[in-house]
């Protein structure tokens, strides 16, 4: 199946040699988004401010791929501190309306930020 890479200057740039998203058939695979601005600078502030920056980055990349976050079928959430889970969960509901996607949330040792999120969208 052919695929294409997606990039946009409306979201934080990737942190390495990978695409912000890949479109393959009816699926859009969004790479992990972090709380950075489109210029690459880190969003400082509360966990909520950083989490919203992550979801806003995901939304911008989804839009560049011709999709929307409400088309998510799977989301991966990576938290540095699981104590942030309840707040992340409340913010998650704002960005992913019913029907909600499948989700996995795991604790990880993130380098300098509290949250990273990736997603798979179905556009068919």
Domain ranges of the chain: 3-122
Phi-psi region of 86 (alpha: psi -120 to 50; beta: other; left: phi over 0): alpha
Residue 59 pLDDT more than 80?
A: yes
Q: Are 20 and 115 in contact (CB under 8 A)?
A: no
Instruction: Enumerate the β-bridge partners of residue 42.
Output: 36
- Indicate if the pLDDT at residue 2 is higher than 90: no
Domain 3-122 sits in CATH at 3.30.1330.40
pLDDT in tens, 22-42: 999 999 999 999 999 999 999
Contact, 73 vs 120, CB < 8 A?
A: yes
pLDDT band at 1 (very low <50, low <70, confident <90, very high): low
Residue 60 in contact with residue 101, Cβ under 8 Å? no
pTM of the model: 0.95
């Amino acid at each position: 199946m052919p695929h294409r890479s997606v990039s946009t200057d409306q979201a934080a740039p990737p942190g390495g040699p990978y695409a912000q998203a890949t479109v393959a058939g009816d699926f859009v695979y969004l790479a992990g988004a972090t709380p950075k601005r489109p210029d690459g600078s880190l969003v400082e502030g509360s966990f909520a401010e950083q989490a919203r920056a992550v979801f806003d980055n995901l939304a911008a990349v989804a839009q560049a791929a011709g999709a929307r976050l409400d088309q998510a079928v799977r989301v991966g959430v990576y938290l540095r501190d699981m104590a942030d889970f309840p707040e992340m969960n409340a913010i998650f509901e704002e960005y992913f309306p019913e029907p909600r996607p499948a989700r996995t949330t795991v604790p990880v040792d993130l380098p300098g930020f509290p949250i990273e999120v990736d997603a798979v969208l179905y556009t068919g």
